[in-house]
Amino acid sequence: MRRAPEPPPKIGRPGITSLPNPNPRFNPTRSPGFETREAVAREDRLRAARLRWGATKLSGARARELNEVADAIDPDVTVSPTTVASSRYMRLQRIRIIGALWELVYGR
Amino acid sequence: MAANRTATAPGSCPYAVFTVVPEDWSVLLGTLYLVDPRRLLAAFRQHLYRSAMGLGVGLEGQLFVGVHGAYDPATKTFPLHLHGMARGGMIPIVDGLRKLGKYRPAQQGDGRDAANTPVRISVGPLSNMPDPLTYFLKKYWPARETYVDEHGVRRAYGGKHKGISGPAYIEYLQFFHRWRLEDLTMSMGMHATQNGIILH
């Protein structure tokens, strides 16, 4: 069986996640279809619940791993998530990245 | 405040949004943990170099791509692909990917893991902003069931996409938890800083 690739270190040169909050003119939350803060918190709760349910079907390290991911996502456990698996984290990054690209397309 | 610096006058450069599906990028359920998105993006970078060489041009312009996926319950696979945006000289290079063997469309009964339209590119002014820009950093991976049509070509069912469910859902969340956004995206000809995007 092949080994999984080594996960990257969580530290390193700042990259795409180092972008600042966008200029209000280019803030994608102004778009009506963009996910709301409440919707992503609901989604994170759902994800955490489904992961914990998945963990009940497993045992040992695999169950522990799923519970760890659930904790990293769950709004009741982690206020400021830093994982791509979290809808709240992705909303924040999407606002910054989409905002920066939008500003790039339109110029200043 | 974001401070995007443009080396050229704003509005003078065309943009394109694109989707590319390289051959053999489908991943079987249960093996997503083996995928290293950095290697996929490094391979894509090589494809761009080869496309540029084929066109006899250097790598110019800007590009931003993100690894995206879906889950196909019919084949129990995650067909991975890239959504992105190209600017200036990078547009013909992305378009030129069609000439590479890795981007040949699926043919009837050829048995290859290839898409029907491996390179889809839309060039022109971006309208209805910021919707086109949300496309390459999507909220979630959908479930996208496929079927084999009367010509033996695999096609996706139309209609609204649903979310992934079951073991595939847990596998996809674990995959996302494992990697950073820096590993799932790639930019060329520009880089992100705490002051905004800087063009090279």
Residue B4 falls inside a structural domain = no
Which of B10, B85, B196 faces A107 most closely, judged by CB atoms?
Answer: B10
Give the burial class of B119: count Cβ atoms within 10 A of its Cβ; 0-12 exposed, 13-18 middle, 19 or more buried: buried
B51 versus A108: the higher-pLDDT residue is B51
B168 versus A106: the higher-pLDDT residue is B168
Token pair listed for A84:
């791509």
Residues of A in contact with B200 (CB under 8 A): none
Whether B12 shows a pLDDT value over 60: the answer reads: no
Report how many domains make up chain B. 1
Residues of A in contact with B38 (CB under 8 A): 8
Which of B174, B185, B197 faces A100 most closely, judged by CB atoms?
Answer: B197
Alpha-carbon span A19 to B131, nearest angstrom: 20
Distances (CA, A) of B177 to A16, B58, B158, B173: 17, 36, 30, 6
Portion 34-63 of A in contact with B at CB < 8 A: 34-35, 47, 50-51, 54
Residue B198 falls inside a structural domain = no
ipTM confidence: 0.90
Task: Give mean pLDDT, residues B23-47.
Answer: 96
Place of tokens 């698996």: A85
- Structural domain boundaries, residue B141: 15-193
Whole-prediction pTM: 0.89
pLDDT per residue as tens digits for the range B83-136: 999 999 999 999 999 999 999 998 877 778 888 889 999 988 888 888 888 888
Q: What is the pLDDT of residue B6?
A: 35
- B161 φ, ψ (degrees, to nearest 5): -75, 140
Residue B10 falls inside a structural domain = no
B61: left (phi over 0), alpha (psi -120 to 50) or beta: left
Q: What is the pLDDT along chain A (108 residues), one digit of tens a residue?
A: 566 776 665 555 568 999 999 999 999 998 888 999 999 999 999 999 999 999 999 999 999 999 999 999 999 999 999 999 999 999 999 999 999 999 988 874
Whether B10 shows a pLDDT value over 80: the answer reads: no
* Chain B interface includes A95 (CB < 8 A): no
